[in-house]
């Protein structure tokens, strides 16, 4: 899979508020699917599993079977990769532009 395809899967996964909330819930530690279902009472189990499937396909959630339970672990590395590729460089560019603007404003005073 190309980097662009992988990025598309990550952005798709992060594009839905329920999936972002699921990732937030997993920041505290791994959770069973049943625990996630209880945390999202507005969703049925099938819908929770569909969202987990999208997160898993994007590499953001890694499932682990323990007997009858499925434990879902957060893998933040794909988000970090997005940050390194997109957010970091744009943030540096914005900071540089603001610094330049500040110096120009100070010079004109």
**24 plus 68 within the same structural domain:** yes
Q: Per residue in 70-90, pLDDT tens?
A: 999 999 999 888 888 878 778
* Nearest residue to 52 (alpha-carbon basis) of 83, 76, 73, 79: 73
Interval 12-68: pLDDT, tens:
999 999 999 999 999 999 999 999 999 999 999 999 999 999 999 999 999 999 999
> Which two tokens mark 3?
């980097």
Task: Name the residue range of residue 29's domain.
Answer: 1-75
Question: Token digits for 88?
Answer: 């970091």
Residue 35 and residue 64 in one domain:
yes
**pLDDT higher for 25 or 95?**
25
Do 28 and 49 share a structural domain?
yes
């Amino acid at each position: 899979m190309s980097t662009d395809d992988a990025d598309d899967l990550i952005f798709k996964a992060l594009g839905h508020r329920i999936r972002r909330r699921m990732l937030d819930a997993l920041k505290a530690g791994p959770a069973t699917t049943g625990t996630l279902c209880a945390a999202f009472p507005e969703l049925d189990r099938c819908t929770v599993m569909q969202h987990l499937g999208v997160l898993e396909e994007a590499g953001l959630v890694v499932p682990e079977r323990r007997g009858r339970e499925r434990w879902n672990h957060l893998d933040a590395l794909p988000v970090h990769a997005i940050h390194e590729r997109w957010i970091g460089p744009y943030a540096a560019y914005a900071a540089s532009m603001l610094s330049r603007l500040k110096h120009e404003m100070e010079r004109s005073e």
